[in-house]
Copies of this chain bind each other. A is one copy, B any other.
Amino acid sequence: MSILKTETAKSASVRFARRMSNVRVSAVREILKVTERPEIISFAGGLPAPELFPVREIARAHAQVFDEDGPAALQYSTTEGWRPLREWIAARMRKRGIAADADRVLITTGSQQGIDLAGKVFLEPGDRIVVENPCYVAALQAFSAYEATPIPVDSDDDGMRMDQIEKALTRDPKLIYIVSEFSNPKGITLSAERRSRLIDLSLRYGVPILEDNPYGELRYAGVAPEPLAALDRNGLVIHIVTFSKTLSPGMRIGWLLASEEIFKEVVTAKQAADLHTSTVEQRAAARMLQEFDYDGHVAHLCLVYGERCKTMRDAIERHFPSETRWTKPDGGLFLWVELPKTVNADEVYAESLREQVAFVPGASFFAGEQRTNFMRLNFSNQTPERIEEGIKRIAGVLKRRMK
């Protein structure tokens, strides 16, 4: 610790907003700091595989933008975003049946900002928000910063349970938050039947749905259901997507589509939050997508990730004790394992780490009571060989614990 640091460390005690006491520091990000070492076989992060990033194409697009647009690429720009990128995105969403026009597409600095802005626009202290349980941790974080109380709704292999949703809606929530395809942490997808039902309920109770779909492009099997945003005819679905899982998370570009009424409020919130998303990166993304074979690239990602997903599923099937259960994702990045109630995943984590394998214990994903017998496993960021090896080592730990 430097002298400088010591000198200023004796800060007079200041009074923070109450909201900050609700915000949990992400356990996932803390674990990631530990598991960055290359000798660790890490199933912990939600990292896309860096070897699949289209580095050359992204580099070229940046060079083209500086060359062709010059200073305009470096100037302030509008809060809504770079028009050609918004057009491309709207066209892409229309292919999935969503009635998207570019006027209602806001370019964000990734999905997380979309979640945060929706939280800011809708939630005030004491408000309720329906969430899938377990749930994406950083969404819980964002909502807790607005002092909203989550109403956890359990899920099965077809997604959120409709009986619980309906009951939750009688408690007057402001918003329903859902990762609609290949959820984080479970890797499950809301079934087509439940989608129609959810849209009906949203309308009946007048509660908007925040549909977060970062993994939708990464489908390795099965047929994609219609997005909730495609079924929506009442402007009640806010649809959030990102390039983080297909192009690059380091670039920080995502988007949000909403009804005109909601869009207007979210744009105002974004203006106050950071003025606009990087002009350079928006133009580089748009420039790249003029020529880049995005479908071909996504198909390649699906091929590689699909194999890793299958490898992990097969390895678990072969090696894990018969008392464990796990989800069978058709896409995305994660798989969710349920251990017998007597087995504590934190302890399994600590023991696995000694054998150079990491994952995220499930407790921190729960919106209500933190259940301790779950593990989230990521399969996108390790080779099939390392997946096989890592799963074997975890299986060894589990077998010792479950003897």
- Write the residues of chain A forming the contact surface with B, with a CB cutoff of 8 angstroms: 2, 4-5, 7-20, 23, 25-26, 29, 33, 45, 47-48, 50-51, 53, 55-56, 58-59, 62-63, 66-67, 70-79, 94, 99-101, 103-104, 109-110, 112-113, 116, 120-125, 127, 138, 141-142, 144-146, 174, 203, 206, 208, 232-236, 244, 248-252, 259-262, 265, 268-269, 271-281
Contacts and interface: CB of A to CB of B under 8 A. Distances in A.
B272 A138 contact: yes
B62 A272 contact: no
A402 B116 CA distance: 49
Contacts of A250: 73-77, 278-280
B109 A203 contact: no
A210 to B, nearest CB: 12
A236 B12 contact: yes
A333 to B, nearest CB: 12
B122 A17 contact: yes
A179 to B, nearest CB: 16
A23 B272 contact: yes
A65 to B, nearest CB: 9
A21 B167 CA distance: 30
Give the most central of A18, A76, A124: most B CB within 10 Å.
A76
13 contacts: A4-B99, A11-B234, A12-B206, A14-B122, A16-B122, A17-B120, A23-B268, A53-B75, A55-B73, A138-B271, A141-B268, A250-B280, A252-B276
A53 B26 contact: no
A356 B236 CA distance: 43
A248 B74 contact: yes
Contacts of A249: 74-76, 279
User: 8 nearest interchain CB pairs?
Assistant: A11-B235, A250-B279, A50-B71, A59-B66, A11-B259, A74-B248, A74-B250, A141-B272
A74 B273 contact: no
A122 B16 CA distance: 5
A128 to B, nearest CB: 12
Contacts of A74: 50, 53, 55, 58, 248-251
Given A8-B233, A109-B109, A250-B279, 16 more contacts: A7-B99, A7-B233, A10-B234, A11-B260, A29-B271, A55-B74, A58-B66, A59-B67, A62-B280, A74-B249, A110-B275, A113-B274, A145-B269, A249-B279, A252-B279, A278-B278
A53 B280 CA distance: 13
A113 B273 contact: yes
A80 to B, nearest CB: 11
